[in-house]
Structure 1
Amino acid sequence: MTTTDATAPTVGVDPGPLIRLTIADCGAKVLHSAVQLDVFTALADGPLDAAELAAAAGLHPRLAADFLDALAGLGLLTRQDGRYRNTPLAEVYLVQGRDTYLGGFIDLTNETLYGTWGRLTEALRTGEPQHLDPDKGGFVGDRHADPEKMKRFLKGLDAFSDRMGGELAEAVDWHGYRSFVDLGGARGNLAAVLVNRHPHLEATCYDLPRTGPIFDEHVGRLGQTGRIRFVGGDFFADPIPSADVIVLGHILHGFDADKSRELLRRVYDAVRPGGAVLIYDRMIDDDRSNADRLLSSLHMRLVSRDGGEYRIADCRDWVRAAGFTDGGARPLLGTHTLVAGHRPGSRHE
């Protein structure tokens, strides 16, 4: 039998935020479909009316009007006198061929999020990772077994690393350093951004050996062959190449605290005296109140057996425990945190 608490509020509480949260994934799926159908690229040369845009994107007329107007309502298109055009946000980030294009990242999230988050309730009850088999490469799943699938996966990551590399190039004073290693650097995209901004740097990408051919192809296409070297290995079993700076981007969130501390001790041994470690992730704010960061951590726990985001304070503790002096923390891209640590000693001694 259900009873009603007479003291519970029954009027004056707007359910709107709850309803919007309940259907929040609908807006995301509209964006994903628009990227897949290249709606924004179709508008790159100027506005189109509804029929022209529907024809260019291959939209069925039964759904086209609601779909296009929903994109306008989401702030991605504008509609004036029956003609649609991209908003500045869409024009910069959603037109294929632009250096700032984020469509690959959007495709990646569309591919990876829904299968796992649809199993959240099961994961909460069992504690087990969902959908992506941890025995086939952790949260990367079986993509390494399929080179074309892996390329699509990495293309999505490249859309992010282009922006992160540009911001990291400005956030750190690289002039006193001669070399860096991007740990888990995939096909070398972030390393390429850094050496383009700071040509004096010697760059190394360190990742699993099977990533080597994909690295060679991508770096060759970027015209960086010979400027960035690839070293294959296992973070925990093989020597980490020595350098002035070692970058760990989206690495520690794949491990638990003990493994993260172990890895940072190995990194300390590889950083030259006077050098630095740079760690970026969507770290959880120290009072654990930022919902976006906590959702990111939940995602890592859904797709990996030991992963999860970690508090900024915890990361700084791990850095100090490894032997580095604390270089502080700062925001990156508005969504990430950069924690730095410095190895005592004189550079290039």
Structure 2
Amino acid sequence: MPAEAIPEKKVVETLNPSKIMQVGMGYWASKVVLTAVKFELFTLLANEPSSGKKIKEKLGMHCSDRHVYDFLDALVSLGFLQRKGLLDDAIYSNAEDTDLFLDKKKPSYMGGILEMANNRLYKFWGDLDEGLKTGLPQNEGKGKGRGNMEFFTELYKDEIRLKEFVDAMTSIQIGNFTALANKLDFSKYNTLFDVGGADGWLSIQICLKHPNIQCTTFDLPPVEPLAKNRIAYFNLSNRINVVSGDFLKDDFQKADVITMGNILHGVDEETKQKLINKAYQALNDGGALVAIENIIDNERRQNTFGLLMSLNMLIENGDAFDYTLSDFERWTNAAGFKRTELISLAGPTNAAVAYK
């Protein structure tokens, strides 16, 4: 055997292809979980543990018993379900975190983003290759040009789809908004203006934690009833004002704090800068701009979710992208902000804060 072949043999013996298979075929596991959420399996099992045959009957599944067990046992292997017994003798129940976050009847439910992923995003991601080649959206606005926001216009016409979208945005941010309310010192601020506030969840969390602050949640007119209902449920209508408008066109209200949850990543760089400039002009002296995003690490090596979310923005909006703290500092410095900081929130999400 030639000497030069020996190192290659050693490499082959020490390297393992399992990561390649796990990631390359990762959509299998993803679709199993998304399907379980769609079937409301975890909500069903939150009531009581159940056998595979009872689950099959209650969910109206008409495949073979063996494939039902394959589906449920895959969820066991992924850590979403627990099981006692095997096959016909098995009793299934939720894992602890699954029960907390994926039972639709609990206030901690965060499956809205997974519902939207299954109903919308999953099929659009099948065209990621086309998006990378063309730089164009691959969602409902496909074929209508670069940076097209047409799908928002269509989305907001449909009350059911709008609620699904708003619930998705809320569910993905529940932990982040709670963490921000706990970690950022709001005691020196009296007013907050939340840009693209959806159903007002961020304002609610801040008001529940900080009794001194008055908030305004700002979004497009069709969202207003959802926000008012959510705010009224928490008896905070006297502290949170709901204002309708378009953050791309309208000026922001004067405030001590301006927040943007998953807003900047949804637009191109020029629009990012314009929004940051508008925030600077609207902020009172000593105020703060807070961007809650999946901030990518400056070396672009660690925050995989942030990088994948940026690709999701390609799918959704074409020219939109997620960004690093260095990017944020460049834009905020250009607007006139004095300094920035990064506050870790939940999972891969951070709050990028710029102080005026």
Contact 1:316–1:328 under 8 Å retained in 2? no
**What amino acid maps onto 2:334 in structure 1?**
A
Work out whether 1:65 is the aligned partner of 2:77: no
* Percent pairwise identity: 31
Q: How does 1:156-305 map to 2 (within 5 A)?
A: 156-290=168-302, 291-305=304-318
Contact 2:139–2:151 under 8 Å retained in 1? no
Residue in 2 aligned with 1:35?
37
Q: How does 1:9-158 map to 2 (within 5 A)?
A: 9=8, 11-12=12-13, 13-60=15-62, 62=64, 63-81=67-85, 82-133=90-141, 137=149, 140=152, 142-158=154-170
**What amino acid maps onto 1:316 in structure 2?**
E
- Partner Cα separation in structure 1 for residue 292 and residue 211 of structure 2: 22
Q: TM-score, length-normalised on structure 1?
A: 0.90
**What amino acid maps onto 2:343 in structure 1?**
R
**What amino acid maps onto 2:263 in structure 1?**
I
**What amino acid maps onto 1:64 in structure 2?**
V
**What amino acid maps onto 2:129 in structure 1?**
T
Pick closer, same or farther for the CA change 1:209–1:44 going to 2, 3 Å: closer
Write out per-residue CA displacement over residues 185-227 of structure 1, whole angstroms, 9 at most, x where no aligned residue. Answer: 1121221222122232111011223433333344334443333
Contact 1:164–1:190 under 8 Å retained in 2? no
- Partner Cα separation in structure 2 for residue 30 and residue 168 of structure 1: 32
- Partner Cα separation in structure 1 for residue 207 and residue 305 of structure 2: 31
SS class of match (1:142) = helix
Pick closer, same or farther for the CA change 1:128–1:9 going to 2, 3 Å: farther
- Partner Cα separation in structure 2 for residue 330 and residue 162 of structure 1: 16
Pick closer, same or farther for the CA change 1:180–1:130 going to 2, 3 Å: same
SS class of match (2:35) = helix
Contact 1:179–1:202 under 8 Å retained in 2? yes
- Partner Cα separation in structure 1 for residue 206 and residue 266 of structure 2: 24
Work out whether 1:329 is the aligned partner of 2:342: yes
Count of aligned pairs: 339
**What amino acid maps onto 2:254 in structure 1?**
S
**What amino acid maps onto 1:261 in structure 2?**
Q
Residue in 1 aligned with 2:333?
320
- Partner Cα separation in structure 2 for residue 258 and residue 333 of structure 1: 28
Pick closer, same or farther for the CA change 1:139–1:335 going to 2, 3 Å: farther
SS class of match (1:44) = helix
Pick closer, same or farther for the CA change 1:122–1:7 going to 2, 3 Å: farther
Contact 1:187–1:216 under 8 Å retained in 2? yes
Residue in 2 aligned with 1:346?
none
Q: Structure 1 residue 25: deviation in Å? A: 0.6
- Partner Cα separation in structure 1 for residue 8 and residue 343 of structure 2: 42
Q: Structure 1 residue 7: deviation in Å? A: 8.7
**What amino acid maps onto 2:30 in structure 1?**
A
- Partner Cα separation in structure 1 for residue 154 and residue 248 of structure 2: 21
Q: Structure 1 residue 141: deviation in Å? A: 6.1
Write out per-residue CA displacement over residues 289-310 of structure 1, whole angstroms, 9 at most, x where no aligned residue. Answer: 1332211111101210321011
Contact 2:110–2:174 under 8 Å retained in 1? no
Runs of 4+ in 1 over 6 A off after TM superposition: 5-8
SS class of match (2:168) = helix
Unaligned 5+ segments in structure 2 are none
**What amino acid maps onto 1:152 in structure 2?**
E
Q: Structure 1 residue 278: deviation in Å? A: 0.7
